[in-house]
Structure 1
Amino acid sequence: MRFAAALPGGHQRDDGRGHQVERPADLAAAIDAAAGTLIAVLESAALRHQVPPTQLRVLTLICGRPETNVNGLAELLDVVPSSASRLCDRLEATGLLRRVADPRDRREVRLVPTAAALTLLGELAERRQRAVQAVLDRMPVRMQHELLLALAGFARAATSAPEQQTDPAVQTA
């Protein structure tokens, strides 16, 4: 896939095999800009909620980790436990979170999202998907397919071990 048309002043070079590739800095800048745009689209879908973004993040983290307690949440958020506890207090006061004793160890208190929290997160996910779909609908089908392939490749590369290359500045297009 070639990104030169999307890059202001994009520079291409031949990789020695007849493929045109972008300079990594230009490509990284274009991806960063696109990621910023995607984040803005996703955040715009969340603006309709009365729940602050930090609290939405807490609910999302707790939903993905059913064994979470306040100390675990503090680690996930990289904050001190007292700050995590205050966040939980606010969520509990709005009816989005409950603290329950762990049935295996009554000394442990688990954080559990309420049905209202699950509904809220479900609505948010639907709104975000609709917002992204609205943007995709304005793209040609071919570009949608190329974007999907590129994102899948990016995800694979991000989760795999880095390979040794003879010239790390040269990437195939």
Structure 2
Amino acid sequence: MEQSSDLAAAIDAAAVALVDVLDAAGVRHRMTVSPTQLRVLSLISSRPVTNVNGLAELLDVVPSSASRLCDRLEAVGLLRRVTDPRDRREVRLVPTPAAEALLRELRERRQRAVRAVLDRMPPRTQQELLLGLLAFARAAASEAQPDSSARTA
């Protein structure tokens, strides 16, 4: 049990270090959007059928706050509100090409920063980390699925 606690503490420390690396790789000093606005763009980009109410749920905020965030992103040309062709009462949030480019640049910067850290690790340790992370992701995914027997190994 103590080994499990040590491992959990090590993962927590590694997560903090990873967040620090990712934050340092961010282009906040050159960006015109806040970290919260970046998160909104990322959420919308990965969920193409998101509306303001859905975004509010994802952010755990009231819809009016989510709508104001969208207003600011729309004002700087990073977000569009588009009527859903299947239900004209529904308005979807769509990242603009400029937003997609911004997210792509941020993702590339972050990956370069992580690669720089990985390059300071021995190749064998990198391989062990890869295997451990894949196993962790599988275990986390099986926890999230109600019927884990239906998934493939």
Q: Per the shorter chain, which TM-score range?
A: 0.7 to 0.9
Give a deviation string over 1:113-171, Cα, whole Å, max 9, x none.
00100000000010010000000011111110011011111111111249xxxxxxxxx
| C-alpha RMSD over aligned residues | 1.6
Distance apart, 1:50 and its partner CA: 3.0
Equivalent-residue separation in structure 2 for 1:50 and 1:130 (angstroms): 22
Which structure has more RCO (C-alpha within 8 Å, separation ≥ 6)?
Answer: 1
Alignment of 1:129-140 (within 5 A): 129-140=111-122
The aligned residue for residue 168 of structure 1 is none
Which amino acid letter does the alignment assign opposite residue 122 of structure 2?
Answer: P
Equivalent-residue separation in structure 2 for 1:44 and 1:80 (angstroms): 30
Gaps of at least 5 residues in structure 2 are 145-153
Alignment of 1:65-84 (within 5 A): 65-84=47-66
The aligned residue for residue 43 of structure 1 is 23
The aligned residue for residue 80 of structure 2 is 98
Higher helix share: 2
Counterpart selection for 1:126 from 101, 108, 111: 108
Q: Which has the larger radius of gyration?
A: 1
Kindly indicate whether the alpha-carbon contact (under 8 Å) linking 2:27 and 2:106 is maintained by their aligned counterparts in 1: no
Is structure 2 residue 30 aligned with structure 1 residue 31? no
TM-score of the two chains, using structure 2 as the length reference: 0.88
Equivalent-residue separation in structure 2 for 1:129 and 1:110 (angstroms): 30
Equivalences, count: 142
Between the two proteins, what is the percent identity of the paired residues?
Answer: 75
The aligned residue for residue 87 of structure 1 is 69
Kindly indicate whether the alpha-carbon contact (under 8 Å) linking 2:25 and 2:110 is maintained by their aligned counterparts in 1: yes
Distance apart, 1:47 and its partner CA: 3.6
The aligned residue for residue 7 of structure 1 is none
Gaps of at least 5 residues in structure 1 are 1-20, 163-173
Equivalent-residue separation in structure 2 for 1:130 and 1:50 (angstroms): 22
Runs of 4+ off more than 4 Å: none
